[in-house]
A and B are shown apart, each in its own frame.
Chain A
Amino acid sequence: MSSIAKKKGFGSTLWDYLTTVDHKKIAVMYLAAGGLFFVIGGIEAMLIRIQLAKPDNDFVSAGLFNEIITMHGTTMIFLAAMPILFGFMNAVMPLQIGARDVAFPFLNSLGFWLFLFGGIFLNLSWFMGGAPDAGWTSYASLSLASPGHGIDFYALGLQIAGAGTYIGGINFLVTIINMRAPGMTYMRMPLFTWTTFVASALILFAFPPLTVGIFFLILDRMFGANFFDHTMGGNTIIWEHLFWIFGHPEVYILILPAFGIFSEIFALFARKRLFGYSSMVFATVLIGFLGFMVWAHHMFTVGLGPTANAIFAVATMAIAVPTGMKIFNWLLTIWGGSIKVTTPMLYALAFIPSFVAGGVTGIMQAAAPLDYQLHDSYFIVAHFHYVIVGGVVLAILAAVHLYWPLMFNQMLSEKLGKWTFWFFFIGFHLTFFIQHFLGLMGMPRRVFTFGANQGWDLFNLISSIGAAFMAVGVVILVVNIIITVVKNVPVGNDPWEDGRTLEWAIPQPVPFYNFKQTPLVRGLDTFWIEKMEGNKEGMTYAEPLSDIHMPNGSIIPIVMTIGLFIGAFGALYNGEKDWAIPVLVLGLAITFGAMAVRSLKDDHGFHIHKEDLMNDEGGK
């Protein structure tokens, strides 16, 4: 079979994407789907701010407002931020370590489809009797009491999407451990790969408790169990523990890759080796470890007792130490560098003060007595938006500009990129800075409106204006993307001219087998080393040109996912409709049938022959 791609019609391109196991194409799909959910979550955010722009507003009803805030949080965390980061991990990490694909290409595709269909299932709730309305944390007493099917959509949708994330986590871990190119020791891995590694380890251990918690919720609501019903001996605190055992590491699953992206950007655009590389690695691992030991700081006001609160308060404050190390390392990377202020670099520079502000308010809440004051107020809302928007979203926007040429061989407009940045950055601080004070003035979070005599009018209006600025920024980004895609000017490899790591050394567009010959890594920032020594090719090779073994594409992942998608409707209507159990069984049968087919049918992949490789001028 000929192994080199040809021009294709729309149908075969679609089929290609439905069956692909290529990490680069899966990355594009993650980015597109995550981007779509990001826009949906953003629209929900705008609705929230419109409702709160003036006192006694009746733009949306109280019930609808609850649905919107729940879906905003859930969508942004599970369906936007994480998938977009997964997109960058998929696109960049295998190239950074010199691998031809991830360890389990089939599972990579399965993970994506699970996420996508889980997200679609969750959002179908809008059209099928109402969205979930118990907040993204879905605390059990509240969510058990919620009428309709909203919470069921939440539980089943997140279960499906969560399975995809879990699979992705294991996949990245094995890829990084087993498939590094010769010479790519652990202490030569680029920081983005390191943060991917630690975030994946967190996924491995954080998602099973969430799975268990959500299963309890599903069983309680749909199958007659009594885990959380106190009249039957259940305990609602169990949900809170399970949720936050997952929920806190989740914060680090999001922020660590963001740290990785910024570490790459600082080194690249300061044109200097990352300061304190080994301490950066150490800090990343330490944050990952501590991230698991602090979940109860979300539960200070539950009444766990002074001992528990003290332990978790101290552990939480301890996280500030490795995070502080990172901040100083970044500052010292810029120090004395030959700085180029490109769009990604602008985001990185803006990230430091923004994130530090979020971190400092975090330390304030870590003090348990003060947390009793701040809990469930707008101060909390301000805090977590400062870390998530000021950290994760800025990193995502920076990475879109930074890695766009790597993923699509085109450059986003720097001019429009800077417009996006300024609108977004100013809007972000305008929206959220003032919310600290709203919180201190007593405004509780999750209220759908407030009275004119409470003195919160002006600050809320300012906050809403800021949100509009952010929206304008995102619109400019979308326009920028459309213009760039339509113009389609190829830029070749190393478009930023100062690329340091392996991914920038590959010819553009990246051939589907990534590396014709496996590279030999000779140190940290290996591409930089080669460039400094005048190696025009940018790589030293570890092997002679020979046949390459590649995996086959497969439609089975999407079939397995659709089975679960169908089965979820059966579970949802259990006890209500006659067809519920048959549909559940049918869905599971499709999934397990597809698994059996996958297991029984041998799939040896195929080889690209040496002669084809020599003829393939891929990338030029």
Chain B
Amino acid sequence: MSHDAQVYVRSQTEFEYIKQKRKKDMRNQVTSFAIMIFLTLIAFTAVAAGFSVYLIVPVILLLAAVQVVLQLYYFMHMSEENHQVAAFFLYSAVMLAFTFVLTFLTIVWWG
């Protein structure tokens, strides 16, 4: 409960190490960005190419899901520790979101 932050002075080696580590993390971020761009390109190309609807729709939905996972886990750091509670609530929200969309697609009485 203490409000005071302990100041910790890193040694030079520690400092160099952590800088290297951050750099590597950043490189991973750029890689995941490249993947996202690539997935987006596939999605748009698939639609532009005019494949069958039954092929395109599941594929682009899957691509969107993969992209969002990359955003959440890398860009928004959900892969780091300290995110258990956040993840729990977010997954609950995703589950509800799925339920809402499902019901609105099936039982709004359009017949």
Direct contact of A and B (CB under 8 A): yes
Asked if B110 CB lies within 8 Å of chain A CBs, one says: yes
Mask: chain B, 1-18; 1 = CB below 8 Å from A; 0 = not? 111000000000000000
Quote the shortest CB–CB distance from B80 to chain A (angstroms): 17
Q: Which residues of A contact B1 (CB under 8 A)?
A: 100, 179, 181-182, 518, 542-543
Report the interface size for chain B: residues with CB under 8 A from the other chain: 17
Residues on the B chain within 8 Å of A518, using CB: 1
Tell me if B109 is interfacial: C-beta within 8 Å of chain A: yes
Bound-complex Cα distance A422 to B82 (A): 51
CB <8 Å contact, B96 and A292: yes
Say yes or no: is B44 at the interface (Cβ < 8 Å to chain A): no
> Could you mark each residue 84-111 of chain B with 1 if its beta carbon is under 8 Å from any beta carbon of chain A, else 0?
0100010011001001100110111110
Chain B residues, CB < 8 A from A241: 100, 103-104, 108
Partner of A543, one of B2, B85, B89: B2
Q: Does A595 contact B (CB under 8 A)?
A: no
Given contacts A181-B1, A209-B100, A543-B2, contact A308 B110 (CB under 8 A): no
| In the complex, A332 has a CB within 8 A of chain B | no
Interface size on A, residues (CB 8 A): 26
Is B107 within 8 A of A308, CB to CB?
yes
> Using an 8 Å CB-CB cutoff, how does the interface string of A298-310 with B read, 1 for contact, 0 for none?
0000111100100
A-B contact count (CB 8 A): 42
Q: A209-B100, A518-B1 are in contact. Are A201 and B108 (CB under 8 A)?
A: no
- Check: A237 CB closer than 8 A to any chain B CB: yes
For residue A542, which residues in chain B have a CB less than 8 angstroms away from its CB?
1
In the complex, the answer to whether A235 meets B108 with C-beta atoms within 8 Å is yes
**Residues A237 and B108 in contact in the complex (CB < 8 Å), given A179-B1, A201-B89, A543-B1:** yes
Contact yes or no, A238 B92, CB < 8 A: no
In order of increasing CB-CB distance, the 9 nearest A-B pairs are A304-B107, A549-B3, A237-B108, A237-B109, A308-B107, A518-B1, A235-B108, A205-B96, A177-B85
Given contacts A205-B93, A238-B108, A308-B103, 17 further A-B contacts (CB under 8 A): A181-B1, A182-B1, A201-B89, A204-B89, A205-B92, A209-B100, A235-B108, A237-B108, A241-B100, A241-B103, A241-B104, A241-B108, A292-B99, A304-B109, A305-B107, A308-B106, A543-B2
Interface residues of A, Cβ cutoff 8 Å to B: 100, 177, 179, 181-182, 201, 204-205, 209, 235, 237-238, 241, 245, 292-293, 296, 302-305, 308, 518, 542-543, 549
Could you show 14 A-B contacts with beta carbons less than 8 Å apart?
A: A100-B1, A181-B1, A201-B92, A205-B93, A235-B109, A235-B110, A237-B109, A238-B108, A241-B103, A241-B104, A292-B96, A292-B99, A302-B109, A303-B109
